[in-house]
């Protein structure tokens, strides 16, 4: 039998084995390919949100007045307790009155004298006119009598002015509250000499309810503020921080957008008014101001955890229709109810990755998405953050307690002789090596 016929079956057998081995290897490779990584994603939401602006502010009294001495004299009494509430018309200080009472009496006496002289000159003029009619007086005498009467009338008016001035000066000896408010520290004690030029400011009175707050937005926001102010009431929230306590929040409204812009800072003065019924807020306090200018319709919202950042921008990974990741640069706005506004780069309904293996979340990677609700995810993140902070605070407290115990123990041990000798300090030259 020829050798070729004998070898042919063997060759065919070997080729078939090789082909089968290749198929098995290909199948093994296909079955060994890893599945796409699973990531957690949310759909970007479209919501109507308020457009909040935040500024530092300084509180200001609606009415504030310095109580000043308008006449000279010794301060006889103070009729209020520093820090107390006073009412409009209430007497606050009394300056000695005797001198001004005497001036008033003198002025009234002078007025009576002038009135009597005026009456006498009027009768004289009537007699001269009768005499002139009978031919017993000249025209000159008539004119002289008329002029004298006019001088007497002028003297009456002058003395009347003196009486009014004396009454006014006497009234100035009582320093009265011009409006309801709280008195501050008195600047001059009873017994001191006061006058319009010396020790003139006695105290300051401020109205505490309502209260104002001033703040300065940037010039680029001017048109928005003017439009909002013209459209109606602009809500403003004032937050006052407390040492060791929760912030206190007051609600008010915008009442002024100033008519000029500060050229050096390119800011403009704005002001809001708010109720201060308990009068816990005083003028000059630094507070936080939140202004609601308008409502943003269909704002695109995402949890903060979806955002990654570079030194110059922020970006997210969007899952396209083929389950492939696409990196998109975005611009963000304000945070509202645990979600961040996306002002550009996304549209509502886009699926965005919020959690995944950082080594697998990259441009062009194919993934499997586990969708969750964006708001639910944001709330879960917030709760997790609170728990972490609570655990951290508890750990810090425990460490502090442990440290205190150790210090106490160390102090107790220090009362007896030390069991270990203090370490010896060696210089490099002492080293035997």
Share of the chain above pLDDT 70, in %: 83
Q: In whole angstroms, what is the distance from residue 168 CA to residue 100 CA?
A: 9
Q: DSSP letters along 94-160, please? A: EE--HHHHHHHHHHHHHHHHHHHHHHHHHHHHHHHHHHHHTTSS-HHHHHHHHHHHHHHHHHHHHHH
Q: What are the structural domains of the chain?
A: 299-380 (2.40.420.20)
CA 208 to CA 196: how far, in whole Å?
27
Average pLDDT estimate for 133-147: 88
User: Does pLDDT of 65 surpass 90?
Assistant: yes
Model pLDDT for residues 276-306, shown as the tens digit of each residue: 999 999 999 999 999 999 988 999 999 988 8
- Three-class secondary structure assignment of 202-264: EEEEECCCCEEEEECCEHHHHHHHHHHHHHCCCEEEEEEEECCEEEEEEEEEEEEEEEEEECC
Cα(292)–Cα(48) distance, rounded to whole angstroms? Answer: 13
* Percent residues over pLDDT 90 in the chain: 60
Average pLDDT of the chain to the nearest whole number: 85
At residue 404, the pLDDT reads 55
Residue the block writes with tokens 């993140």? 381
Q: List the Cα angle 325/328/333 in 5-degree steps.
A: 130
- The first and second tokens of residue 389, run together, are 């902070």
pLDDT confidence of 17, banded at 50, 70, 90? low
Taking only the tens place, the pLDDT of each residue in 319-365 is 998 999 999 999 998 888 889 999 999 999 999 999 988 888 889 88
Give me the mean pLDDT over the 203-214 stretch: 95
> How far is 287 from 62, CA to CA, in rounded Å?
17
pLDDT at residue number 427: 37
Tell me phi and psi for residue 133, to 5 degrees.
-65, -30
- The confidence score (pLDDT) of residue 184 equals 93
Cβ(59)–Cβ(281) under 8 Å? yes
Q: How far apart are CA 52 and CA 228, in angstroms?
A: 12
pLDDT tens string 260-269: 999 999 999 9
Q: For residue 56, how many other CB atoms are within 10 A of its CB? A: 10
Give the whole-angstrom CA distance, residue 96 versus residue 102.
12
d(CA 82, CA 67): 13
Give yes or no for residue 61 having a pLDDT over 80: yes
Burial class (CB in 10 A: 0-12, 13-18, 19+), 221: middle
Do residues 333 and 315 lie in contact, with contact meaning Cβ atoms separated by under 8 Å?
A: no
Least confident of 18-22, 149-153, 400-404: 18-22
- Mean pLDDT across the stretch 140-153? 91
pLDDT at residue number 430: 41
Each residue's pLDDT tens digit, 379-428: 888 888 888 887 876 666 556 555 555 555 555 454 444 444 444 333 34
300-332 residue pLDDT tens: 999 988 889 889 999 999 999 899 999 999 999
Percent helix, percent strand, percent coil in the chain, to nearest 5:
35, 35, 30
């Amino acid at each position: 039998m020829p050798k070729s016929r004998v070898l042919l079956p063997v060759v065919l057998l070997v080729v078939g084995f090789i082909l089968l081995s290749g198929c098995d290897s290909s199948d093994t490779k296909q079955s060994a390919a890893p599945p796409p990584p699973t990531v957690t994603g949310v759909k970007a939401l479209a919501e109507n949100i308020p457009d909040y602006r935040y500024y530092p502010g300084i509180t200001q009294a609606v009415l504030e007045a310095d109580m000043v001495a308008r006449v000279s004299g010794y301060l006889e009494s103070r009729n209020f307790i520093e820090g107390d509430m006073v009412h409009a018309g209430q007497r606050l200080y009394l300056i000695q009155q005797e001198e001004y009472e005497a001036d008033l009496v003198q002025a009234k006496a002078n007025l009576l004298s002038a009135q009597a002289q005026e009456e006498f000159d009027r009768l004289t003029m009537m007699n001269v006119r009768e005499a002139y009619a009978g031919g017993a007086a000249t025209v000159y005498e008539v004119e002289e009598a008329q002029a004298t009467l006019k001088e007497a009338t002028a003297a009456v008016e002058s003395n009347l002015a003196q009486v009014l001035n004396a009454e006014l000066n006497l009234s100035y000896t009582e320093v009265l509250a011009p409006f309801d408010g709280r008195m501050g520290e008195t600047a001059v004690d009873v017994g001191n000499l006061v006058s319009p030029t010396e020790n003139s400011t006695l105290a300051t009175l401020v109205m505490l309810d309502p209260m104002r707050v001033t703040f300065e937005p940037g010039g680029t926001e001017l048109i928005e503020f003017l439009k909002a102010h013209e459209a109606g009431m602009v809500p403003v929230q004032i937050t006052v921080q407390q040492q060791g306590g929760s912030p206190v929040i007051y609600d008010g409204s915008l009442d002024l957008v100033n008519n000029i812009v500060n050229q050096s800072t390119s800011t403009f003065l704005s002001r809001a008014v708010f109720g201060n019924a308990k009068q816990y807020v005083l003028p000059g306090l630094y507070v936080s101001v939140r202004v609601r200018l308008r409502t943003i319709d269909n704002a695109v919202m995402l949890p903060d955890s979806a955002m990654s950042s570079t030194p110059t921008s922020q970006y997210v990974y969007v899952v396209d229709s083929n389950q492939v990741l696409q990196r998109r640069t975005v611009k963000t706005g304000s945070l509202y109810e645990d979600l961040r506004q996306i002002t550009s780069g996304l549209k509502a309904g886009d699926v965005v990755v919020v959690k995944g293996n950082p080594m697998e979340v990259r441009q062009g990677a194919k993934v499997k998405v586990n969708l969750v609700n964006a708001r639910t995810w944001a709330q879960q993140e917030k709760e997790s953050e609170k728990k972490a902070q609570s655990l951290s605070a508890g750990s810090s407290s425990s460490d502090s307690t442990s440290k205190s115990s150790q210090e106490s123990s160390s102090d107790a041990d220090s009362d007896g002789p030390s069991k270990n000798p203090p370490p010896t300090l060696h210089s490099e030259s002492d080293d035997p090596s």
